[in-house]
Chain A
């Protein structure tokens, strides 16, 4: 019963590098989201998806891309990493009845 699984847990990137943060859920949830957590700012929505093939931007989408080819997976791509993207990233999923989101354990990303 894994829930929401994120990989990797930690990552250090150099400015300008690209990478993909992986997120998978095994609850057959339609809705998946990516948030970033910064001190004193709570969590802010980056991108979200309401089903396979459907994505939309959240509050802070610049510098990030997403796609959703399956119900289970929702990867987040950093195209050209910048120090401002140093943060903790959380993936979440929720079902149709919006009874609350389930979160992964997070990916701590440092861009140097």
Chain B
């Protein structure tokens, strides 16, 4: 069984400030890791993912996340946020073994990021 904990339910920041959204996971097997973003009244969009290789992964809009296996963490960071980054962010894991585990995601509780002018 897997579990995901997002340590902050809400994170308010000012525009152009840095931000970190924290995610820890627990699993007895190796996992794939994902961050999804949900804008108001919309579905979830994949922001970035870690499958293998470099532990630092980046998105096209300036977010990055680092997989830390020893600390079982996958924190999301952005050095300078914009008003348009206001959204809810979800950390998720899936079993690396694949097979019937594909398509089965375990989500954290979500973190609402609010960027103030």
How would residues 97 to 117 of chain B score, 1 for a CB under 8 Å from any chain A CB and 0 otherwise? 011111111111110000000
Report the tally of A-B residue pairs with Cβ distances under 8 A.
75
Q: Complex: how many Å from CA A49 to CA B90?
A: 22
Residue among B42, B94, B104, B110 facing the most chain A CB atoms (10 A cut-off): B104
Q: Which of B49, B107, B108, B110 contacts A100 (CB 8 A)?
A: B49
Find chain A residues with CB under 8 A from B44 CB.
Answer: 43, 90, 92, 101, 103
Interface residues of A (CB under 8 A from B): 4, 30-33, 35, 40-45, 48-50, 56, 58, 90, 92-94, 96, 98-106
B43 x A106 contact (CB < 8 A): yes
Write out the residue numbers on chain B whose beta carbons fall within 8 Å of the beta carbon of A98: 32, 51, 94, 98, 101-103
**Neighbour of A92 across the interface among B6, B103, B110, CB < 8 A:** B103
- Please classify the interface of chain A as helix (H, G, I), strand (E, B), loop, or mixed, using the class held by over half of its residues: strand
Query: Hey, what's the 0/1 contact readout for B65-100 against A, CB within 8 Å counting as 1?
Result: 000000000000000000000000010101000111
Could you list which residues of chain B lie within 8 angstroms of chain A, going by C-beta atoms?
A: 4, 6, 9, 32, 34, 36, 42-46, 49, 51, 90, 92, 94, 98-110
Instruction: Give the CA-CA distance A18 to B4 in the complex, in Å.
Output: 33
Asked if B43 and A31 make an inter-chain contact with CB atoms under 8 angstroms apart, the answer reads no
Contact B45 A33 (CB under 8 A): no
Known pairs A90-B43, A100-B49, A101-B46; A45 contacts B105 (CB<8 A):
yes
Residues of B within 8 Å of A49, CB to CB, are 103
A-B pairs with beta carbons under 8 Å apart, 26 shown: A31-B103, A33-B105, A35-B107, A40-B9, A40-B110, A42-B6, A42-B107, A42-B108, A42-B109, A43-B90, A43-B92, A45-B104, A45-B105, A58-B104, A90-B43, A90-B44, A92-B44, A98-B94, A98-B101, A98-B102, A99-B49, A101-B44, A101-B103, A103-B36, A105-B42, A106-B42
